[in-house]
Structure 1
Amino acid sequence: MATTENARHDDGRGESPAQRADRRWAELLQELRVAQTGTQILFGFLVAVVFQPRFAELGLTDRIIYVVTVCLGAATTGALVAPVAVHRLVAGRRLKPQTVRWAGRLTLVGVVLLYLTMVSTFLLITRMVLDDTIALWLVVVMALWLGLCWFVVPLIARRGTNGNGNDKAEDGYGPWPR
Structure 2
Amino acid sequence: MPKETEKQRWQRNFADLLQELRVAQTGVQILFAFLLTLPFSSGFTRTTNFQKDTYIVALLAAAAATAMIISPVAFHRALFRRGRKPELVWFAHRVAIGGLAFMLIAMVSAVLLITDFVLGRPMALVLSAIAGAWFLAFWLILPLAARRNWGDGDIDDEDDGSQVLPGD
Q: Could you state the TM-score of these two structures normalised by the residue count of structure 2?
A: 0.88
Match of 1:50 among 33, 39, 50: 39
* Aligned twin of 1:9: none
* Aligned twin of 2:113: 124
Runs of 5+ unmatched residues, structure 1: 1-12, 167-178
Aligned counterparts, 1:75-154, within 5 A: 75-154=64-143
TM superposition shift of 1:140: 0.7
Identity of aligned residues (%): 39
Instruction: Describe the superposition over 1:70-115 as per-residue Cα deviations: whole angstroms up to 9, x where unpaired.
Output: 1111001000001111111111110001101101111111011111
* Aligned twin of 2:160: none
> Using the alignment, how far apart are the partners of 2:154 and 2:113 within structure 1?
40
Match of 1:34 among 23, 27, 45: 23
| Paired letter, 2:126 | W
Corresponding position: 1:19 with 2:8: yes
* Aligned twin of 1:170: none
Runs of 5+ unmatched residues, structure 2: 156-168
**1:156 partner SS:** helix
Large movers: runs of 4+ above 4 Å: none
Instruction: Describe the superposition over 1:107-138 as per-residue Cα deviations: whole angstroms up to 9, x where unpaired.
Output: 11101111111001100010010021111111
TM superposition shift of 1:18: 0.6
* Aligned twin of 2:54: 65
> Using the alignment, how far apart are the partners of 1:98 and 1:71 within structure 2?
28
| Paired letter, 2:99 | G
Q: Could you state the TM-score of these two structures normalised by the residue count of structure 1?
A: 0.83
TM superposition shift of 1:165: 4.8
* Aligned twin of 2:163: none
**1:99 partner SS:** helix
Change (3 A) 1:101 1:134: same
TM superposition shift of 1:152: 0.6
Change (3 A) 1:144 1:165: farther
Higher relative contact order (CA 8 A, sep 6+): 2
